[in-house]
């Protein structure tokens, strides 16, 4: 009798676990959809801002502001305390936690603003351009305002309630677009880029208090608790930012500010769509993994599903962006940005392939293995710096791009495969086996588009660019999706893959539609 009762209890527990898993998964899926819509809107507005400003300003203007932005990005990363992640990681958040997070954020903002102002004079001397003094001083307002935001705003992310977050971020990008374009139209000045960024920060900070009212209070009571979790994330982000941005300062000096400006525009465009696809899911994965971190089997299954789905998107976006780079840049930016075309063709596929390791960051944070992330990033930095330096020094822009392909493609893949194995126990084959359909589909798409494009006439007008862009996207999309689905069906309709996830969503929609009572004809 005891055995039967034990079996009943196990079945009930399994059923409850399954219901809980399904509930978390459904909430994560809804959150991902909301964020995906928001990020698509944000990236569309950002792209529109870049397109319009590229018509009104020069590559030199972009390069000038990009130097200041690169410095700010590194400073933000070096001092990033990951307070939001630390709060999400806490099972219960106290008032002391909020007060401490606000205090640390405010102090950091003031210090960063001061460092930016001083650094402007140093950069002006280094690059021989006094305009950098004003640029850095203007950008210094951003960390100052961001550090004064409401710490309670993070609750939306912790509870996977991203509707307000998506609205706030969308408003930020909209304000940035309006201010930047208006300023550029009226003044034809690089200050338009700075003004738009500052305006977005003002609105963003105000929105955090409107959505999550909070009375600021200075406190350090939860200092050790928050820093204990976030210290390795801080070091990881600091090293990562240095590794990803140090080449900007070298390129700005060795290639010239104008060429660097075109390189920066191409680099940002290459990551624009890729990041639109992955950012919503990565932001959802951390709190989702945190809820199931005690169950290794569920973690492995969830990780493989997210890995497979993300790579399916990353391959399509990365390879597709490289294929349409020439007509897209001609149509969006004009015929005077050939450097941007080359950058997109090389960098976009690399960024797309890196998506497969995106869930590793979220999983490591959920498991508390933040030190492992730091060690990984430090190792990547040790490889990337000499590779990029040698490529840029001896071969200029082509060498820089090739070195980034080597360090960002080969080295990053090898290191991350090892990290994923340590975190989940998934072998090399376990990780690659969930991506093979995307590899085959991507190769098929590339072969078809390049084959058809070989006989096409050179692009010499906006009409030619629009036509080429339309047929490349249409044909490439049909081939990629068609091959993907065909391989999924022939392979036995695996439960791990983006096809299975889409099928589940469509099935739920169909079932809901069938439940709606149909009106009988009169």
296 Cβ contact partners less than 8 Å away, ≥ 6 residues apart: 424, 425
Digit-coded pLDDT (tens) for 144-185: 998 888 888 877 766 666 677 788 888 999 999 999 999 999
38 within some domain: no
367 within some domain: yes
Digit-coded pLDDT (tens) for 94-133: 888 888 888 988 998 999 999 999 999 999 998 888 999 9
340 within some domain: yes
One-letter-per-residue 3-state SS of 37-70: HHHHHHHHHHHHHHHHHHHHCCHHHHHHHHHHHH
181 within some domain: no
102 Cβ contact partners less than 8 Å away, ≥ 6 residues apart: 150, 151, 214, 216, 217
What does the alpha-carbon distance between residue 181 and residue 102 come to, in Å, rounded to a whole number? 33
Cβ–Cβ < 8 Å for 301, 24: no
Q: What is the mean pLDDT of residues 132-143?
A: 94
Provide the token pair at 32.
């991902």
pLDDT: which is higher, 58 or 183:
183
Digit-coded pLDDT (tens) for 287-342: 556 566 566 777 777 778 888 888 898 899 999 999 999 999 999 888 888 999 99
With a threshold of 0.85, does the pTM exceed it? no
| Residue from 446, 173, 497, 102 nearest 312 by CA | 497
300 within some domain: yes
Q: How far is CA 98 from CA 76, 104, 210, 272, 510, in A?
A: 20, 10, 16, 33, 44
Cβ–Cβ < 8 Å for 381, 307: no
CB atoms within 10 A of CB 276: 21
- Residue 382, domain extent: 290-505
| pLDDT greater than 50 at residue 19 | no
| Residue from 21, 280, 304 nearest 157 by CA | 280
Binned at pLDDT 50, 70 and 90, residue 20 comes out as very low
Binned at pLDDT 50, 70 and 90, residue 492 comes out as confident
370 within some domain: yes
Side-chain half-sphere of 311: how many Cα atoms within 13 Å?
28
Q: Which of 364-368, 448-452, 494-498, 510-514 has the highest mean pLDDT?
A: 448-452
What does the alpha-carbon distance between residue 269 and residue 266 come to, in Å, rounded to a whole number? 5
Please tell me whether residue 385 adopts helix, strand or coil conformation.
helix
317 within some domain: yes
Q: Please count the structural domains in the chain.
A: 1
346 within some domain: yes
């Amino acid at each position: 009798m005891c055995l039967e009762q034990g079996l009943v209890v196990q079945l009930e527990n399994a059923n409850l676990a399954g219901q809980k898993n399904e509930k978390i998964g459904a909430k994560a899926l809804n959150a991902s959809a909301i964020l995906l819509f928001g990020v698509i809107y944000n990236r569309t507005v950002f792209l529109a801002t870049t397109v319009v400003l590229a018509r009104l300003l020069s590559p030199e203007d972009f390069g000038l502001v990009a130097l200041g932005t690169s410095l700010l990005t590194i400073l933000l990363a070096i001092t990033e305390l990951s307070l939001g992640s630390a709060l999400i990681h806490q099972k219960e958040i106290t008032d002391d936690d909020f007060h401490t997070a606000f205090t640390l954020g405010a102090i950091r903002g003031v210090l960063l603003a001061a460092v930016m102002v001083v650094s402007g004079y140093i950069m002006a001397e280094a690059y021989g351009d006094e305009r950098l003094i004003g640029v850095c001083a203007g950008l210094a307002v951003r960390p100052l305002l961001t550090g004064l935001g409401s710490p309670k705003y993070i609750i939306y992310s912790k509870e996977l309630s991203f509707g307000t977050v998506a609205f706030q971020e969308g408003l930020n990008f909209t304000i940035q677009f309006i201010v930047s374009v208006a300023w550029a139209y009226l003044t034809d000045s690089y200050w338009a880029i700075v003004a738009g960024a500052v305006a977005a920060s003002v609105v963003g900070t105000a929105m955090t208090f409107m959505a999550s009212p909070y009375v600021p209070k200075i406190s350090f009571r939860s200092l050790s608790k928050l820093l204990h979790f976030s210290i390795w994330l801080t070091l990881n982000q600091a090293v990562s930012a240095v590794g990803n941005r140090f080449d900007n300062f070298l390129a700005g000096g060795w290639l010239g500010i104008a060429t660097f400006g075109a390189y920066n525009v191409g680099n940002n465009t290459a990551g624009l769509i890729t990041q639109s696809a992955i950012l919503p899911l990565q932001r959802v994965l951390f709190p989702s993994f945190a809820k199931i971190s005690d169950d290794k089997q569920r973690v492995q299954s969830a990780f493989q599903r997210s890995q497979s789905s993300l790579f399916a998107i990353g391959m399509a976006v990365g390879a597709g962006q490289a294929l349409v780079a020439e007509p897209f840049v001609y149509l969006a930016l004009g015929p005077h940005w050939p450097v941007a075309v080359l950058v997109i063709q090389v960098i976009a596929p690399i960024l797309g392939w890196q998506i497969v390791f995106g869930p590793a960051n979220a999983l490591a944070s959920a498991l508390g293995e933040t030190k492992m992330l730091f060690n990984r990033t430090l190792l990547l930095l040790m490889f990337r710096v000499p590779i990029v330096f040698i490529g840029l020094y001896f071969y200029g822009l082509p060498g820089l791009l090739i070195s980034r392909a080597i360090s960002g493609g080969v080295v990053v893949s090898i290191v991350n495969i090892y990290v994923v194995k340590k975190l989940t126990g998934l072998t090399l084959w376990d990780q690659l086996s969930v991506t093979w359909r995307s590899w085959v589909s991507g190769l098929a798409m590339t072969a078809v588009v390049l084959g058809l494009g070989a006989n096409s006439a050179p692009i010499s007008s906006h009409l030619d660019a629009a036509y080429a862009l339309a047929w490349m996207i249409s044909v490439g999309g049909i081939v990629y999706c068609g091959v993907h689905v065909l391989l999924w069906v022939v392979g036995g309709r695996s439960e791990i893959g983006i096809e299975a996830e889409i099928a589940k969503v469509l099935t739920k929609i169909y079932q809901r539609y069938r439940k709606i009572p149909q009106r009988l004809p009169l």
